[in-house]
């Protein structure tokens, strides 16, 4: 086991374990988790929901937190997103959880009601002391995954997982029959293979002729992952590829697929026990259930909603249609770039258009929400200061009128928040700004300002504000939440801002989906281009980039056609 050499001392605060691993291996981490706890460390397991229908649950091994991606519950790959993530933890940690929590309470008429719980953890109340900066999340995708679970229920989910696992075992039996080496004895849906004669690159090239992508791990090793769409014909084709593109001499029905999951790792506990996961077994029943839920929501079909920056755009059918095309929805985020030239062209167009609209030198599409754009932009600013040997610059000035996400993002980016006073009308108190900029002149990293402000006020002194911050050595982060008021009229870059995020789900027509999906690309001035986010798998970003702020290289790629269509059809 790769974890056998791990030792724990008082410098270790946490452990992150992948289950199953990136190579597909599964193992029991119970002893390791116990050792971590004895040393005072907490344990997070990154896991796969579908695998857990068959495998021992992280909580049963003693893990404190389980995280992962819910894409496998009925959501397209979409070249990386949007997908809902999940975060589960023990009851004792609930007050430290990020994001919103829905709880059950009673209304003024003593009827059972749902409401947001423990909101005192969140940034709109606690600001820089919040447990996260999460604002726009993936609510629509979470509902899709939830309905997938409702429709199939625990029995259906086990059946889907069992079929995938069975095909994987048959593929493994065929690989062994061909004489190749399987790296791991226990697995769920992913195999890591060393070929006896061909290099990994040669195998990958043969597979490409069959329109199949294999993952190349090193010169001799490849990895194959199966899913719900895999068929017996796919297994036969994979075995032919591994047989150096020759017909195999045996039949699949002659293979014996041995049980590979140890008894101690098989799931025996129940899950999804609520009645909602056992009732809706036909399309009609599920649609009626969805309609009943929909009728409880206040939407634009019932009423005006006074959140103008979020809802003022028409989500035209012509903008929405492309996201359903398989060319956009069915591609893996790490597919070879030559297989995604259409996406690459769209990214290039959007980056150029957004740069022109905002007046910035370059744009990164990676952040998945405005809050994540803030986080990415502030990290870019920190990287800039570090490149100038000014790592001490960590003070972030934020007006008291700012959205709570601003101070929460600043803290996440490693900055210290200093509030700047505002007048009753919402204008920034220039005297207070000058005083605090001068006080922190040696340590000022940035100022965050929303323009127009959350009061709906255009700061008449916006350029003067930028000059004050720049003269104190800081950078200006302009929150683009209300960019609707500027598009085609003024450019944040021309106003003096150094970084700005762009809410594509507000300003450029992506539906808000009850709180997501969203996109928060950042535009930056010329001197910050080198620090734009990179990615560990796909080569992108600046010359001296910050790390990735999203699991996918271009964030929620499959909803970008909406903004592309809107801008292309509207024109300048």
DSSP letters for 506-568: TTT----TTT------EEE-GGGGGGS---SSS--S-SS----SSSSTTSSGGGHHHHHHHHH
**Residue 62 located in a structural domain:** no
Give residue-wise pLDDT tens across range 352-404: 999 999 999 999 999 999 999 999 999 999 999 999 999 999 999 999 988 88
Torsions phi, psi for 273 (to 5 deg): -85, -15
Q: Can you tell me the mean pLDDT for 91-101?
A: 88
Q: Which of 205-219, 450-464, 519-533 has the lowest mean pLDDT?
A: 450-464
Structure tokens at 466: 């930028």
> What mean pLDDT comes out for the span 67-76?
97
Question: Residue 251, class by beta-carbon neighbours within 10 Å (0-12 exposed, 13-18 middle, 19+ buried)?
Answer: exposed
303-to-214, 216, 299, 306, 505 alpha-carbon distances in Å? 51, 53, 6, 9, 20
CA distances from 127 to 54, 119, 131, 409 (A): 41, 11, 9, 9
Express each pLDDT in 164-175 by its tens digit.
999 999 999 999
3-state secondary structure at position 394: coil
Please give the Cα distance from 191 to 186 (Å, whole number).
9
Q: Could you give the angle at which helices 462-471 and 430-439 cross, rounded to 10 degrees?
A: 10
What is the per-residue pLDDT for 312? 60
Write down the pTM of the prediction.
0.93
Q: What is the pLDDT of residue 3?
A: 59
Question: Does the residue 218 lie in any domain?
Answer: no
More confidently predicted of 342 and 296: 342
Peptide bond into 82 cis (omega under 30): yes
CA distance 353 to 565: 12
With respect to residue 526, please indicate whether it lies within any of the assigned structural domains.
yes
- Tell me if 449 sits within 8 A of 479, measured CB to CB: yes
State the Cα–Cα distance between residues 479 and 403, nearest whole angstrom.
Answer: 9
Please tell me the distance from the alpha carbon of residue 551 to that of residue 571, in angstroms, as a whole number. 32
What pLDDT, on a 0 to 100 scale, did the predictor assign at position 296? 87
The tens digit of pLDDT for each residue in 525-569 reads: 999 999 999 999 999 999 999 999 999 999 999 999 999 999 999
Can you tell me which residue has the tokens 């005192």?
A: 120
Residue 450 confidence (pLDDT) above 70: yes
Radius of gyration of the chain (CA): 26
Q: Is residue 115 part of a domain?
A: no
In a domain, 203, yes or no: no
* CB burial readout 146-172, b (16+ within 10 A) else e: bbbbbbbbeeebbebbeebbebbbbbb
**Residue range 245-256: mean pLDDT, rounded:** 88
Beta strand 499-501 with 522-524 is antiparallel
pLDDT of residue 562: 96
* pLDDT of the residue at 308: 54
Examine the pLDDT at 254 and tell me if it is beyond 90: no
Relative orientation angle of helices 283-294 and 139-177, to the nearest 10 degrees: 150
**pLDDT at 307 (0 to 100):** 62
pLDDT of 186: 97
What is d(CA 257, CA 236) in angstroms, rounded to the nearest whole number? Answer: 15
Q: Is residue 77 situated within a structural domain?
A: no
Strand partners, 15: 43
What is the total residue count of the chain?
572
Tell me the mean pLDDT in the region 189-212: 96
| Strands 101-106, 112-117: pairing kind | antiparallel
Quote the pLDDT of residue 297.
84
Identify the domain containing residue 557 by its residue range. Answer: 324-570
DSSP string, 315-362: --HHHHGGGGSHHHHS--TTS-GGG-HHHHHHHHHHHHHHHHHHT-SE
Q: Is the pLDDT of residue 1 over 60?
A: no
Q: How much is the pLDDT for 453?
A: 86
- Cβ burial 457-470 (10 Å sphere, 16+ → b, else e): bebeebeebbebbb
Mean local confidence (pLDDT), 114-122: 80
With a cut of 80, say whether residue 300 has pLDDT above it: no
Q: Do 419 and 401 contact (CB within 8 A), yes or no?
A: no
Question: Domain with 397 in it: what CATH number?
Answer: 3.40.640.10
pLDDT > 70? residue 234: yes
Q: Which of 223, 243, 234 is nearest to 180 (CA)?
A: 243
Q: What is the pLDDT of residue 311?
A: 54
pLDDT at 426: 82
The more confidently predicted of residues 311 and 561 is: 561
Whether 309 shows a pLDDT value over 70: the answer reads: no
Start-to-end CA span in the chain (Å) = 58
Contacts (Cβ under 8 Å, ≥6 apart) of 92: none
Average pLDDT, the chain: 93
Residue 134 token pair: 């999460």
What average pLDDT does the segment 434-460 reach? 93
In a domain, 199, yes or no: no
- What is the total count of domains within the chain? 1
CA pair distance 151, 146, nearest whole angstrom: 9
Note whether residue 437 is domain-resident.
yes
Residue 99 contacts residue 139 (beta carbons within 8 Å): no
């Amino acid at each position: 086991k790769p974890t056998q050499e791990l030792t724990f001392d008082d410098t270790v605060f946490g452990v992150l374990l992948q289950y199953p691993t990136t190579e597909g291996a599964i193992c029991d981490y119970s002893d390791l988790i116990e050792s971590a706890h004895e040393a005072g460390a907490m344990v997070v397991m990154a896991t796969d929901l579908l695998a857990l229908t068959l495998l021992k649950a992280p909580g049963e091994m003693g893990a404190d937190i389980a995280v992962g991606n819910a894409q496998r519950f009925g959501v397209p790959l979409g070249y990386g997103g949007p997908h809902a993530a999940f975060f589960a933890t023990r009851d004792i940690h609930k007050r430290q959880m990020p994001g919103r929590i829905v709880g059950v309470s009673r209304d003024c008429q003593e009827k059972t009601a749902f409401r947001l719980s423990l909101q005192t953890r969140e940034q709109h109340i606690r600001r820089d002391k919040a447990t996260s900066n999460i604002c726009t999340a993936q609510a629509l995708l979470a509902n899709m995954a939830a309905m997938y679970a409702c429709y199939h229920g625990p029995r259906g989910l086990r059946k889907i997982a069992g079929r995938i696992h069975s095909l994987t075992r048959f593929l493994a039996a065929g690989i062994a029959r061909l004489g190749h080496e399987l790296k791991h004895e226990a697995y769920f849906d992913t195999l890591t293979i060393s070929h006896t004669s061909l290099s990994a690159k040669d195998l990958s090239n043969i597979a490409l002729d069959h329109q199949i992508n294999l993952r190349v791990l090193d010169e001799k090793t490849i990895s194959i992952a199966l899913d719900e769409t895999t068929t017996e014909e796919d297994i036969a084709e994979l075995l032919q590829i591994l047989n150096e593109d020759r017909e195999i001499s045996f039949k699949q029905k002659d293979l014996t697929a041995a049980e590979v999951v140890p008894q101690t790792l098989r799931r025996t506990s129940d899950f999804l026990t609520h009645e909602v996961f056992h009732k809706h077994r036909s399309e009609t029943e599920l649609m009626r259930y969805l309609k009943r839920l929909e009728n409880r929501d206040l939407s634009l079909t019932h009423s005006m909603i006074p959140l103008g920056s979020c809802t003022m755009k028409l989500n035209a059918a012509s903008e929405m249609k492309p996201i359903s095309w398989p060319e956009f929805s069915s591609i893996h985020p790490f597919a070879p770039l030559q297989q995604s030239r259409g996406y690459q062209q769209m990214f290039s167009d959007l980056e150029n258009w957004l740069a022109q609209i905002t007046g910035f030198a370059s744009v990164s599409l990676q952040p998945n929400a405005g809050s994540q754009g803030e986080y990415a932009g502030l990290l870019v600013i920190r990287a800039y200061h570090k490149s100038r040997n000014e790592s001490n610059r960590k003070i972030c000035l934020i007006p008291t009128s700012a959205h709570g996400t601003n101070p929460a993002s600043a803290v996440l980016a490693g900055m210290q928040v200093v509030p700047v006073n505002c007048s009753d009308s919402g204008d920034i108190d220039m005297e207070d700004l000058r005083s605090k900029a001068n006080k922190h002149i040696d340590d000022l990293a940035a100022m965050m300002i929303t323009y127009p402000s959350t009061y709906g006020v255009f700061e008449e002194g916006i350029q003067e504000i930028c000059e004050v911050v720049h003269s104190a050595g800081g950078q200006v982060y302009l929150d683009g939440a209300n960019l609707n008021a500027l598009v085609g009229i003024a450019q944040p870059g021309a106003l003096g801002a150094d970084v700005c995020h762009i809410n594509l789900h507000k300003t450029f027509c992506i539906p808000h989906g009850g709180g997501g999906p969203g996109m928060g690309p950042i535009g930056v001035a010329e001197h910050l281009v080198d620090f734009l986010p990179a990615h560990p798998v796909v080569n992108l970003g600046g010359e001296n980039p910050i790390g990735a702020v999203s699991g996918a290289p271009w964030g929620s790629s499959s909803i970008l056609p909406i903004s592309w269509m809107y801008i292309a059809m509207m024109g300048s």
